[in-house]
Structure 1
Amino acid sequence: MDLNFSIYTTSLTLESLDLPPSNVFPAFIFVTLTYCFILVFNMTVLLTIALNRKLHKPMYVLLFNLPLNDMVGATAFFPQLVSSLLSQSRSITYSACFVQALLIHLYGAGSLLILTAMAYDRYIAICCPLKYNSLMSSSNLLKIIIIIWILDFSLIGLLLALNYRKEICSTKIVEIFCNNPSLMKLVCGDTKLNNYYGLFVIAFFDGLSLLIVVFTYVQILITVVVKRQSDAKSKAIQTCGTHLIVFLCFQFTSVFAFIAHRIETTSPSLRQAFFASAIIFPPILNPLIYGLNTKEIRQNFIFLFRKVSSTKKNDKLSGMKR
């Protein structure tokens, strides 16, 4: 007979990190610095776009959403991991676990939707340049951003809500962090509806985004080849090539991680590695690839940095004169 546990009085146990005592402190330093770097890199991109009116264009407004989303994912994962390393405890309350899972899935779905919107923007800019200003007007851009976040919050919110129970039949989380599949394994009774809806959400986000991205990049490739302009080719390859690589890598790691939960023979370590990589690497690489590697953002960042440095220097000189 299954035992029922109340979510209000029972703590959950996350999968062990399997770190020897001698490696705990180095791991704590590494994780903390990684989280700090993620915040600094993404805040740099955010501030650079926000404080420069020249960057208030559709492409950069869409890009503005990416570091915001990346910081949500990183904040859902890293602080809890730091806390575990400090306390040497893998216990977590159900409410904290639920919030972590919600934020991580909002981050994952949000990444796919934002990258898809960016691909659409590049498609319009390269394939329909004369219609760009009308198709990507301020009102249409606002609609795209609203649709992104409504889809993200509504579908992911319902996904996690289906797993919410006042009583659960297990307290063991089979991952190093909380997510929807691990929460679903705590549920008592039949979870067919959860499974079916979870598969629908995966198919919707991954299938829709993959379809749109493949279509847009095929059209971009055709347009570039037909135009036969070397500068257009190099710009398209540089802008779209890195975007496509990042998108496909994120697709592969996230899809494999979720499918692995449904294949019992999959190595837990391999599954956890894919899950963790989908959370850790994009928030580090995205600001470098889409931010500082973009000429306009890099130039404006340098200008902003020099302006701030000059202001501090003038203030210091003024203070010395007084």
Structure 2
Amino acid sequence: MPSLNASIELTAFVLGGFETTQRKFVVGVTILITFIVAVLANMVNIVVIVYDKKLHKPMFLLICNLAVVDILCITSISPTTIGTLLAGVNTISYAPCIIAMFTHHVGGTMEMFALAVMAFDRLIAVSCPFQYNSYLTNVRIILLVFMLWIAACCFVAVMPATVLPLSHCHTKLIYSFCDYAAVLRTTCADLGYYFNVITVISFFLLFFTFSLIALSYFVIVYFVKLSSSEEKRKMGSTCLSHLIVVVCFYLPIFIRIVLSRMGVPLTVEQLHGLSVWSYVGPPSVNPFVYSLRTKEIRQRTESSSAHQMS
């Protein structure tokens, strides 16, 4: 693509996003506390599931994978955001920024994949309860998760592959973290082509994963209607945790899409806030949803806490 402006030798990016924020310290402390709690809570879920052999089942392996994804998502943007708000560090070197951009989008892609696979897991559990253990084994789940990680890396590899060859005409990012769109806007290239490519990929991933989740729950609702009251209660309890997690992740994304399609103007700070919530909110909610609503994890966590206190 042809250059539009004179290029510069870029060694670091300037981070924006919170320049008009009034109470930076309060916002920074809030994100810092959320970051620490989210990482610790997800690590607790991982340790509990890995340590307890009784939890070495497909559903808990998927919860463990989601916890790993959540840690990747929140650590990809929180450190730079916290540094900007609390320490006034508003620059990041080029190479770390590209790495952070890659991990940031791999985490978001894997979050969609993880939620879609967990919806499919719930579908099999509800529709084929007696064949569940034969259909979904630990080995198959591990292989599936491994292939999804490879697929996510392949999809996201398009981003650094398109950015690295480009020259840069600006140094300032519109966000306080390294997002592909923000990095791309610092280049001298014609942005239309690159945004069109990434929009097609993003739409495909979003449409595919959300459609799979929606279809799974349509089928689940059908089976629930044919079930007894007790079975309905069990199915509802089984699926509610996953539904809460799905809403926390997809709601900010759909809000951005709907508002943009309706022509509602959003400031850079509002867009930044929605982006931050998309990657900080779910990782801070997910571990508590599953630890509080999943009986096996809750009992194991409570027994571990009681053992430590004694």
The alignment's TM-score, normalised by the length of structure 2, stands at 0.89
One-letter amino acid of the counterpart of residue 136, structure 1: L
> How many Å apart are 1:175 and its aligned residue?
1.9
Report the equivalent of 1:239: 238
Matched, 1:294 2:294: yes
Report the equivalent of 2:285: 285
Report the equivalent of 2:209: 209
Q: Secondary structure at the match of 2:163?
A: coil
**Cα RMSD between the aligned structures?**
2.4
Determine what percentage of the aligned residue pairs are the same residue: 25
Conserved 8 A contact 1:123-1:217 = yes
Aligned counterparts of 2:270 and 2:24: Cα–Cα separation in 1: 22
Which digits, 9 at most, give the CA deviation of each residue in 1:30-74, with x for residues without a partner?
332222111211111111111111110000001101111111111
Report the equivalent of 1:93: 93
Aligned counterparts of 1:15 and 1:303: Cα–Cα separation in 2: 43
How many correspondences in the alignment?
Answer: 306
Aligned counterparts of 2:17 and 2:244: Cα–Cα separation in 1: 31
Report the equivalent of 1:176: 176
One-letter amino acid of the counterpart of residue 189, structure 2: G
Q: Secondary structure at the match of 1:168?
A: coil
Distance 1:260 1:100, change over 3 A: farther
Report the equivalent of 1:154: 154
Gaps of 5+ in 1: 311-322
Aligned counterparts of 1:264 and 1:37: Cα–Cα separation in 2: 34
Conserved 8 A contact 1:14-1:92 = no
Aligned counterparts of 2:201 and 2:112: Cα–Cα separation in 1: 12
Aligned counterparts of 2:25 and 2:255: Cα–Cα separation in 1: 31
Q: Secondary structure at the match of 1:208?
A: helix
* Counterpart mapping for 1:192-271 below 5 A: 192-227=192-227, 229-257=228-256, 265-271=265-271
Larger radius of gyration: 1
1:12 to 11, 14, 17: 14
Report the equivalent of 1:71: 71
Aligned counterparts of 1:277 and 1:3: Cα–Cα separation in 2: 35
Distance 1:271 1:10, change over 3 A: closer
Which digits, 9 at most, give the CA deviation of each residue in 1:84-125, with x for residues without a partner?
234323222222222222222111111111011111111111
Report the equivalent of 1:81: 81
254-263 or 110-119, larger mean C-alpha shift: 254-263
> How many Å apart are 1:285 and its aligned residue?
0.6
> How many Å apart are 1:267 and its aligned residue?
2.6
The alignment's TM-score, normalised by the length of structure 1, stands at 0.86
> How many Å apart are 1:259 and its aligned residue?
8.3
Conserved 8 A contact 1:12-1:94 = no
Q: Secondary structure at the match of 2:189?
A: coil
Report the equivalent of 1:42: 42
Q: Secondary structure at the match of 2:131?
A: helix
Distance 1:245 1:82, change over 3 A: closer
Gaps of 5+ in 2: none
Distance 1:178 1:123, change over 3 A: same
> How many Å apart are 1:203 and its aligned residue?
1.8
